[in-house]
Every structure is written in C-alpha cells, then in structure tokens.
Amino acid sequence: MNQPVSGIFLSAVLDRPVISQSGRDIGVLWDVAMGPGDPFPVVPHLLVRKAGRVRRIAWADIALFNPVVVSLKGEPEGITDLPEPSDEVLMRRDILDKQIVDVDGARVVRVNDLKLTPVLDGLCLATVDVGFRGVLRRLGYLKAWDFLGGVLHRPLARKEIDWFLVQPLGANLSRLTLTITRDKLSDLHPADLAHIISQLPHQNISEMLHSLDMEAAGEALGEMEPEDSSRVLSQLDSSHAADVLEEMPPDEAADLLAELPEDKALELLSHMDPEDAEKVQELLEHEDDSAGGLMNNEYLFVSPDAIMDDAMSQVRLLGAEIDNIYYVYVVDENEHLQGVLSLKRLLLSPGNTPVAEVMSRNPKSVHVDSALDEVFELVVQYKLAAVPVLEEDGKMAGIVSADDILEHFLPFALRWKQYKALRKF
C-alpha cells in the first residue's frame, strides 16, 4: 500500500481521482467509511462517486492510497460493489465539521480534519485535528502559512487529539467510542462534565448522558444551575431521568424538579425509588427562601448511647452515599437533636468512648421555616460547615451546608463549587 508512513489527512485525499489498475477513470473519492477496530476505528471501505452514482469498494481492493491518486488492485468489472450498511459511519458526512468532546481538555470542539494512519494491511483513524492548521490545510494555504511562520519564527501550533481522548456525538457513532474514552469521561470532575454538557447542541445531550454512568450524570447535573439542569433532564425519557435523579442528593434533585412543570415533576417522582422520591417530595414542600427549602435531608446520625466505634462504623457504612459528612449528629429515639460530633473528634477519640461524653451539646440550629439570613449568620459567626435544621417539634429534619448557603448569598458561585470540591474527604 503506497501511503505516508506517518499518516495522511482526510482532506488530502477527498475528491482525488480513483483509477483502476490499468489507469481507467473510476471516479473521485467521495467519502471514507469507518468501523470499530482494536484499538482505533478502521476503514472497511471507500465511497467512490462518478456521474452521480456512488460505489462502495472494500479496502482490500485498494492498491494505492495517497494525496495524488487512489487506485484499485484490478478492474472495476472484477470488483464487488458493496451494499450500503444500515449502520454505516462516514468520515466526511458524520465526523468532519461536526462537534466532538475532547475528554482530556473537557471541552466541545469542532473537527477540522482527520488523520488516517496505516496499521498492518489496513488504515485506521488515529487523531482529530481541531486547530487552525486543519482549516488552512483544507483551503490549500497551509504550506504558505508554514513558510511565513518559519520566516517570522512563529510556527502555527498543531492541535491534534488522539481518538482515545475523543467522544463523538451522533446517534450512530457511540459504537466507535473506545471503552477507555467512556471511562475517562465518567472520571472527569462533575464541574467539567457540566461545562461540556452546557456546550452541547440540544440533539446531542441525551446521547452524552446515556454514555455516562448514572452517578456521573447525576453529579454533573448537580453542578449546573437548576433551570439549566431541568432543561437537560427534560430531554431524557422519564425512566432514565428518574435514574439520574436518584443519584443526586435530595436537595439538588428537589431544586431541579421545582423548575419543571408540576405534572412532569410528579411523573418523574413516580418513576423514582419510593424511598428516594419521599425524601425529595419532603423537600419540595418547603418554601425556597427558607432553611427547609435549602436543606438536605440526608445526614449521618448516631444514638446518644453509642460509642465512638459505632459512630465510625456509621460513617464507613453510609458516608459514600451522603453528600456532607462534616459532622455526625447525635439523635435520640424521638429524633430530637442532642449533640454533634465533628470528624476531628471522631477520628481522635478512643473507640470505646461513649458518644455522649465527646459530643458538643446544644449545637446551633435553625427551624425549617427560618430565613436564610439566619442560617448565613450562624455559618459565618461560628464557622460551621453545616447547620442542623429542626422541625417545629424539635425533630431533626436535615442540614444546610455552608457551601449551599454561601452559594446562595455570594456572587461568583462557581468559586464556591470549586471550594466545595476541595473540601470533600
């Protein structure tokens, strides 16, 4: 196969003449198909066009493939014209000039060119050019620009992304996404995922969320403003949307549902796990500008009769499922708040020490209908990481985290979301 060892860009071969072994004109290269490979997508066949007719020629029947000419191993009469596959993916039609997700850079970028690399007896898609070089190459100005850059000692930087760091967008492209790419995407910080989702065209949002595991999708939506995340969620089918909501902290799920029409919110609640739905429904009953409207009703608690080992076991058992574990609250059999344990005391106290001897008594708290100003004052004055919220009868209802109350009152909320990420244990 006559082709550059380092690879060849798609723009260099598109619309180039295709000839037979004897030199007969077969047409021009119209497109290049791609299919799953190990590890990169491979080229199964080429599309050749002549006089409005498109033929599909297997890669095995290609003798030469370079920017000057593409030639067949034989004559067209002896080469099988392949049928059109139902799930065909074409580089020019489906990838070039389309948007993709750069997983490493956590951004959505435009594909300006594609680089094909030889592998054994085949050809694979190795990198994506998302830089200005790709645009200039397609316009035919790249050599002149490189010459000028050399004279001025200011070369134009290459911006190529390896395919294993790319998440393509499109209904029929998910099978070309490498497993390593899906894993990297789910491992991104939720704020980066939220940033990516916010840049996507509406028609690609559902597909992106389906490519993530439920926990990652829920965390990403939690990083977005409720009105934005509700628009994203409304594009999913009810069952999938409910699964995502179940992975979110109840307070964030409640904020999101509050932005939806009532009938849609009730529909999603009906698809959720009953226990999760009950927690969210409870929060929806409170006014938005009250402590109850901002609280999270998931928190760690132990009995006053427990010892420190019991409290630590509770942290290990439930800590991963709870958004805030700054404190362990001491609650009696009637759900009344008796005291609070900081994680510092929990870690430093002997395991057989009774909780009642170590806990801080008479902790600062607010009621469910307390104004948010009151919560803010407690957080600032006493430097609390979270404030317990009580029902009118004194029962523990939930907590308001410092992150949530600060985000409510202060500008530049993104700063506090980043601060929140740094404080997680």
**For residue 35, how far is the Cα from the chain centroid?**
24
Q: What average pLDDT does the chain have?
A: 85
| 368 and 318 assigned to the same domain | yes
pTM metric for this prediction: 0.65
Where is the domain boundary, 258, 285, 312? 285
Q: What is the structure's pLDDT at 179?
A: 54
pLDDT tier at 180 (50, 70, 90 boundaries)? low
| 357 and 385 assigned to the same domain | yes
| 406 and 319 assigned to the same domain | yes
| 260 and 216 assigned to the same domain | yes
Q: Which of 347, 341, 327 is nearest to 387 (CA)?
A: 327
Domain assignment present for residue 23? The answer is yes
- Whether the per-residue pLDDT at 225 is higher than 90: the answer is no
Q: Which of 192, 171, 204 is nearest to 89 (CA)?
A: 171
Domain assignment present for residue 392? The answer is yes
State pLDDT tens for residues 347-397: 899 999 999 999 999 999 999 999 999 999 999 899 999 999 999 888 999
Q: What is the structure's pLDDT at 142?
A: 86
Cβ neighbours of residue 262 under 8 Å, at least 6 residues apart?
none
Cα–Cα distance between 183 and 378 in angstroms, integer?
41
- Residue 122, strand partner residues: 119
| 329 and 226 assigned to the same domain | no
State pLDDT tens for residues 307-350: 999 989 888 888 777 877 889 999 999 999 999 999 889 889 99
How confident is the model over 185-189, as a mean pLDDT?
78
Q: Are 126 and 116 spatial neighbours (Cβ–Cβ below 8 Å)?
A: yes
CATH number of 342's domain: 3.10.580.10
Where is the domain boundary, 86, 117, 139? 86
Domain assignment present for residue 135? The answer is no
Domain assignment present for residue 332? The answer is yes
Q: How many domains does the chain have?
A: 3
Where is the domain boundary, 285, 319, 351? 285
| 360 and 406 assigned to the same domain | yes
**Domain housing 235:** 188-285
CATH number of 208's domain: 1.25.60.10
| 305 and 419 assigned to the same domain | yes
Domain assignment present for residue 329? The answer is yes
| 253 and 329 assigned to the same domain | no
State pLDDT tens for residues 135-171: 988 888 888 888 888 888 888 888 888 887 887 776 5
| 361 and 413 assigned to the same domain | yes
Which is higher by pLDDT, 3 or 188? Answer: 188
Q: Which of 99, 86, 100, 91 is nearest to 124 (CA)?
A: 91
| 263 and 326 assigned to the same domain | no
CATH number of 51's domain: 2.30.30.240
Tokens matching residue 319: 């800590």
pLDDT tier at 200 (50, 70, 90 boundaries)? confident
**Measuring CA to CA, how many Å separate 222 from each of 5, 40, 124, 246, 417?**
47, 33, 38, 12, 10
Q: What is the structure's pLDDT at 107?
A: 83
Q: What is the structure's pLDDT at 390?
A: 95
Helix 250-258 and helix 214-222, axial crossing angle in degrees, nearest 10:
60
Cα–Cα distance between 204 and 208 in angstroms, integer?
6
| 82 and 26 assigned to the same domain | yes
Domain assignment present for residue 170? The answer is no
